[in-house]
């Protein structure tokens, strides 16, 4: 399999299928309209090869950040792994298998900012395999390509859980998961 350097996905603004180049995780830009509404997340790969993302984060004295994973209707998901040992403070807490349509909710918190929360909601549109180093074709990464979304009523509980997790001092547990 040749190295995957670009892939096609529909731009949320110009609605055209466009080839996007992936250099590293983060925001990618549409070459046609210049929109930066697409975000790349590097997924973990489970033992069975499924793409998975972590619920992670927590708060410190004045700041915090959190990442919550929710189902396509904003529902809690069953974690495939919950970390119970080792360093957990503000780290990774629960691993979830992700699929198309799932939501990733990221919150940044700073108590001296107005408003104190920066909430970003992403919906997974595509999951791609990516070979970073062509000399090591077995070293594949899974990328979840997500589009920035508006806040929806069915995501209210998940957004509140993400805000609570971002404020949870030295958070050590998942806040939005089924066990």
Q: Is residue 132 part of a domain?
A: yes
Tell me, what's the pLDDT at 23? 52
Tell me, what's the pLDDT at 35? 67
Tell me, what's the pLDDT at 102? 96
110 close to 135: Cβ distance less than 8 angstroms: no
Q: Is residue 179 part of a domain?
A: no
Q: Is residue 21 part of a domain?
A: yes
Query: How big is the CA angle at 62 (ends 58 and 67), to the nearest 5 degrees?
Result: 25
Q: Is residue 37 part of a domain?
A: yes
**Alpha carbon 132 to chain centroid distance?**
19
Pairing of strands 117-131, 92-97: unpaired
Q: Is residue 148 part of a domain?
A: yes
Number of domains, the chain: 1
126 close to 100: Cβ distance less than 8 angstroms: yes
Q: Is residue 1 part of a domain?
A: no
149 close to 42: Cβ distance less than 8 angstroms: no
Q: Is residue 174 part of a domain?
A: no
Taking the chain (179 residues) in runs of 10, the rounded mean pLDDT of each run is: 53 67 63 73 88 94 95 96 90 94 94 87 86 67 79 94 95 93
The residue segments making up the domain with residue 25 are 6-167
Tell me, what's the pLDDT at 3? 41
Tell me, what's the pLDDT at 36? 66
Q: Is residue 173 part of a domain?
A: no
Q: pTM of this prediction?
A: 0.84
HEC profile of the chain: CCCCCEEEEECCCCCCEEEEECCCCEEECCCCCCCCCEEEEEEEECCCCCEEEEEEEEECCCEEEEEEEECCCCCCCECCEECCCCCCCCCEEEEEECCCCCEEEEEEEECCCCCCEEEEEEEEEEEEEEECCCCCCCCEEEEEEEEEECCCHHHHHHHHHHHHHHHCECCCCCCCCEC
Tell me, what's the pLDDT at 2? 40
Tell me, what's the pLDDT at 58? 94
């Amino acid at each position: 399999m040749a190295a995957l350097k670009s892939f096609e996905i529909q731009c949320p603004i110009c609605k055209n299928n466009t080839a996007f180049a992936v250099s590293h995780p983060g925001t990618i830009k549409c070459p046609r309209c210049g929109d930066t509404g697409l975000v790349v997340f590097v997924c973990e790969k489970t033992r069975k090869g499924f793409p998975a993302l972590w619920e992670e984060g927590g708060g410190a004295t004045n700041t915090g950040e959190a990442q919550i994973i929710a189902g396509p209707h904003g529902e809690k998901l069953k974690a495939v792994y919950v970390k119970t040992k080792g360093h957990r403070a503000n780290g990774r807490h629960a691993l979830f298998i992700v699929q198309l349509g799932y939501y990733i909710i990221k919150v940044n918190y700073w108590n001296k900012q107005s408003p104190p929360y920066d909430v970003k909601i992403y919906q997974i549109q595509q999951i791609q395999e990516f070979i970073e180093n062509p000399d090591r074709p077995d070293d594949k990464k899974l990328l979840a390509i997500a589009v920035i979304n508006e806040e929806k009523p069915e995501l209210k509980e998940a957004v509140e859980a993400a805000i609570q997790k971002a404020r949870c001092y030295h958070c050590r547990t998942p806040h939005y998961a089924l066990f």
